[in-house]
Amino acid sequence: MADKVQLTINGLSVTADKGMTILEAALRKGIYIPHLCHHRDLDPVGACRLCLVEIAGKWTKIAISCKTEVTEGMVVRTETPEINEMRQVAVELLIADHDTDCLKCARNTQCQLQRVADHVGVDTERLARLREREEKQPIDDSNPFFNFDPNRCVLCGICVRTCDEILNIHAIDFAFRGLKTKIAGFGDKSRLEADCESCGECIVRCPVGALTEKDYKKPTHYVKSVCSFCGCGCGMRLGVRHDQIVSVKGDISSPANRGRLCVKGRYGFRFVNSDERLTSPLIKKDGKFVEADWDEALDLVADNFSKNKGEKFAAIASAKATTEDNYVLQKFTRAVMGTNNIDHCARL
């Protein structure tokens, strides 16, 4: 048990891994501590100041639970009058500067700010005295796949840290100061003009409705699958609604990508539902393509292969296929068709 730590949170005995933070230990135990800037994939920064807790000892102190590691015998309280008042003030300041038309927000009922406000509580009379933002900031809809609404942003920095720590792209950062602070590309550029790769990783981690996918439809259920755009084999969860794919999430349990996806894997699924997608083989008769069954199409292919062996034949392997399938193709080209005319599409 050298790698385990025993502590007490709100009178409950908690066993945590050595090196864990108080917030991680509490959440794993099912004890909710309000937070906005914390994400399990990112290094803690303690920006939102909502995860304050009281640590008892010789000198009782208030600490940020997302940055404080657990120690043996530690006694923690997540709720005290002092902490509750500090949290309430922080939440009210966020709400006063936030677009509160939740019914129009794609993250409604899934918003972490809603959850925090519900847990902490809001003094409506005091909130009414706070000055609201005088004018709305323009929505950045330049990206073809998602929108950024700065009026719903809580400046938690999760999108910035995701772009820096996970993608190493550094496409966005905090811009300006005070009430004018916002997330933007270098030189206050739009997402389309910045170095954004449209991977969508920031959208997945955004705790509020600041980053939302365009034409988003909530799926009724998810189906596990594998991305078809390259040979990496990234695991994904397809969001399905009315027998159509409406969204894609990375599969966290997949060892190939651990839940991460590129722009093609996350947003390149619309061809599946396209009216122009071929659903049966086409062969040319009298100069026009007509539908055929698989037996007729494969017989035609085999007949043409047998007539065009040697240097007349060439094959192009695909990055969408597995390594094994590409190996079989090159073996077929050399051993069966008798030629070395084979190339590979290394990129899509």
Boundary-marking domain end, from 216, 242, 257:
216
Q: In terms of domains, do 211 and 117 share one?
A: yes
Strand partners for 212: 147
pTM of the model: 0.84
* CA distance linking residue 38 with residue 66, whole number of Å: 7
Query: Is 332 part of any domain?
Result: yes
User: For residue 273, what pLDDT is reported?
Assistant: 85
306, HSE (Cβ side, Cα atoms, 13 Å): 6
Same-domain status, 129 and 180? yes
Residue 179 lies in a domain: yes
> Has residue 279 been placed in a domain?
no
Q: What is the pLDDT of residue 315?
A: 94
- CATH, residue 25: 3.10.20.740
Same domain, 51 and 124: no
pLDDT of res. 77: 96
Domain total in the chain: 3
State which of 185, 216, 247 marks the end of a domain: 216
My answer on whether 125 and 67 are in the same domain is: no
In-domain check, residue 60: yes
Q: What is the pLDDT along the chain (348 residues), one digit of tens a residue?
A: 568 999 999 999 999 999 999 999 999 999 999 999 999 999 999 999 999 999 998 778 999 999 999 999 999 999 999 999 999 999 999 998 888 889 989 899 999 999 999 999 988 888 877 766 667 889 999 999 999 999 999 999 999 999 999 999 999 999 998 888 999 998 899 998 998 999 999 999 999 999 999 988 899 999 999 998 887 889 999 999 988 999 999 999 999 999 999 999 999 998 888 888 888 999 999 999 999 999 999 999 999 999 999 999 999 998 778 789 899 999 999 999 999 999 987 655
Say if residue 60 is in the same domain as residue 129: no
Three-state SS string across the chain, please?
CCCEEEEEECCEEEEEECCCEHHHHHHHHCCCCCCCCCCCCCCCCCCCCCCEEEEECCCCEEEECCCCECCCCCEEECCCHHHHHHHHHHHHHHHHCCCCCHHHCCCCCCCHHHHHHHHHCCCHHHHHHCCCCCCCCCCECCCCCEEECHHHCCCCCHHHHHHHHHCCCCCEEEECCHHHCEEEECCCECCCCCCCCCCCHHHHHCCCCCEEECCCCCCCEEEEEECCCCCCCCEEEEEEECCEEEEEEECCCCCCCCCCCCHHHHHCCHHHHCCCCCCCCEEEECCEEEECCHHHHHHHHHHHHHHCCHHHCCEEECCCCCHHHHHHHHHHHHHHCCCCCEEECCCC
Does 150 lie in the same domain as 59? no
Please give the Cα distance from 53 to 38 (Å, whole number). Answer: 15
Residue 13 lies in domain: 4-79
- Smallest CA-to-CA distance from 65 within 80, 75, 79, 50 is with 50
Q: Is the residue at 281 inside a domain?
A: no
CA dihedral of residues 137, 131, 115, 38 (deg, nearest 10): 70
Last residue of some domain: 216, 241, 258?
216
Q: Cα separation of 184 and 146, whole Å?
A: 14
| Residues 283, 300 contacting (CB under 8 angstroms) | yes
> Are 57 and 146 in the same domain?
no
- Token pair listed for 82: 């002092």
* C-alpha pair distances (Å), 87 with each of 39, 53, 59, 160: 19, 10, 22, 24
Find the CATH number of the domain harbouring 170.
3.30.70.20
Q: Is residue 241 part of a domain?
A: no
Give domain status of residue 88, yes or no.
Answer: no
pLDDT at 231: 76
The conformational region for residue 170 under phi > 0 = left, psi -120 to 50 = alpha, else beta, is left
Same domain for 59 and 107?
Answer: no
Strand partners, 235: 226
112 and 70 in a common domain: no
pLDDT for 49 equals 92
* Residue 157 and residue 68 share a domain: no
Residue listed under structure tokens 């597995």: 322
User: Phi/psi at 22 (nearest 5 deg)?
Assistant: -60, -40
Assess whether 16 and 70 both reside in one domain: yes
Q: Are 65 and 16 members of one domain?
A: yes
Question: What pLDDT is attached to residue 233?
Answer: 87
Answer yes or no: is 300 within a domain: no
